[in-house]
Amino acid sequence: MVSTEESRNALLTVRDLTRYGVSRLNAAQAALGHGSDNAWDEAVYLVLHALHLPLDTLDPFLDARVLDSERAAVLDLIDRRVEARVPAAYLTREAWLRGHRFYVDERVIVPRSPIAELLDEGLSPWVSDPDSVEYVLDMCTGSGCLAILAALAFPNAYVDAVDLSSDALEVARRNVNDYDLQDQLTLHRGNLFDALPSRAYDVIVCNPPYVNQASMDALPPEYRHEPEMALGGGKDGMDLVRRILDAAPRYLAPHGVLVLEIGHEYDNFVAAFPHLEPIWLETANTSDQILLLTREQLAS
């Protein structure tokens, strides 16, 4: 009978290790969604990261043989991902969003907001001239990823980013420093709008805690590694959303817009705000998870 160690030692190439990773993830029914949505992409990422290979270059290395020490490093990463059910980003201390790398750890949720896709185009056509945007706010900034992408999308804008968690802001500060945006982007610790300077923002982006309580109770283990305060939005998921929509008009410029993510809470949003008629913004994988409201709509 072949031992487990002998079986693992038979994994000789990058292809072998990737296939093994896919099998382990599938067998464990690992929950995905923290950067990849399928076991193949997750396994490829873990293998390439452990081997210090370019994350976007797999084919030339598929049949390359690995050293014993390299095999051990890959298998250790796969074991920790599967057995501890920890999101890959927490194991590698990095997350990728729209081609940008961000440092992450368990103090923040793993960056994955589809708002990032909309920032690629400077929120066009809802923002007609990205160069003319003066002030941007990222509410519930977490790791700072959306604030950083906003600073890159609106190069002439001053960006404020706020979060209640001092731990999250430590992570955000590291990312702001990595992108050398200290002169353009300021982090604030506070409860929603309370700690912000007196400004009229052209754009507010927000990925708040919005998961309803029933969904929180059913979260798979991977998601339970993330800070609960960054996910849970109360019984219907709308606790913070109500407060944000109520206060936002006082912080928006006359032509300003609020871009808000609500995940899979469309029905709860419509039930909570039956008189609002937001514009639903589509991304590659979403059609009812991100909404846009103008100051005029919010003020009315």
CA distance 198 to 130: 22
- Whole-number mean pLDDT of the chain? 94
Question: Which range is least confidently modeled, 211-215, 269-273, 295-299?
Answer: 295-299
Question: What is the average per-residue pLDDT within 17-42?
Answer: 95
Give the pLDDT confidence of 149-190 residue by residue, as tens digits: 999 999 999 999 999 999 999 999 999 999 999 999 999 999
113-154 pLDDT per residue, tens: 999 999 999 999 999 999 999 999 999 999 999 999 999 999
We report the CATH number of the domain holding residue 270 as: 3.40.50.150
Domain-ending residue, one of 92, 124, 140: 92
Could you give the C-alpha distances from 71 to 48, 50, 75, 79, in angstroms and in order? Answer: 11, 9, 6, 12
Contact (CB, 8 A) for 172 and 142: yes
| Residue range 264-273: mean pLDDT, rounded | 96
Alpha helices per DSSP H over 179-206: none
Question: What percent of the chain shows pLDDT beyond 90?
Answer: 93
Give mean pLDDT, residues 82-104. Answer: 96
The answer on 132 and 279 residing in a single domain is yes
Q: pLDDT digits over 47-64, tens only?
A: 999 999 999 999 999 999
Query: How far is 233 from 123, CA to CA, in rounded Å?
Result: 26
Based on the fold, state whether residues 114 and 69 are members of the same structural domain: no
Say which residue the tokens 């029905």 belong to.
Answer: 267
Same domain, 37 and 164: no
Is the pLDDT at 19 greater than 60? The verdict is: yes
Region 246-251 average pLDDT: 95
Secondary structure E strands in the chain:
95-97, 100-102, 135-139, 158-163, 185-189, 201-206, 252-261, 279-280, 290-294
In this structure, the answer to whether residues 56 and 187 fall within a common structural domain is no
Q: Do residue 112 and residue 210 come from a single domain?
A: yes
Domain that holds residue 69: 4-92
The pLDDT, as a whole number, for residue 1 is: 42
Residue ending a domain, choose from 51, 71, 92 = 92
* Residue 2, pLDDT score: 41
271 and 197 in one domain?
yes
Instruction: State the greatest distance between any 2 C-alpha atoms of the chain, in Å, as a whole number.
Output: 74
Q: Are residues 25 and 145 in the same domain?
A: no
- In order of 19, 52, 65, 88, the CA distances from 12 in angstroms are 11, 17, 5, 23
Please identify which residue in the block is written with the tokens 């353009």: 184
- Is 23 in the same domain as 105? no
The enclosing H or E element of 298 equals helix 295-299
Pair (88, 110) in one structural domain:
no
Please check whether residues 15 and 129 belong to one and the same domain. no
pLDDT of residue 132: 94
Show which of 92, 112, 146 is a domain's final residue: 92
Residue type (1 letter), 24: R
Is residue 108 located within the same domain as residue 231? yes
* Number of domains the chain is built from: 2
Please, are residues 255 and 295 in contact by the beta-carbon 8 Å criterion? yes
- Judge if 49 and 159 occupy the same domain: no
Tokens linked to 232 = 């849970």
Query: What per-residue confidence (pLDDT) applies to 5?
Result: 73
| 299: confidence class by pLDDT, cuts 50, 70, 90 | confident
- pLDDT mean over 88-107: 96
Residues 233-264 as b or e (16 or more Cβ within 10 Å = b): bbebbbbbbeebbeebbebbbeebbbbbbbbe
Q: Find the CATH number of the domain harbouring 24.
A: 1.10.8
pLDDT of res. 163: 96
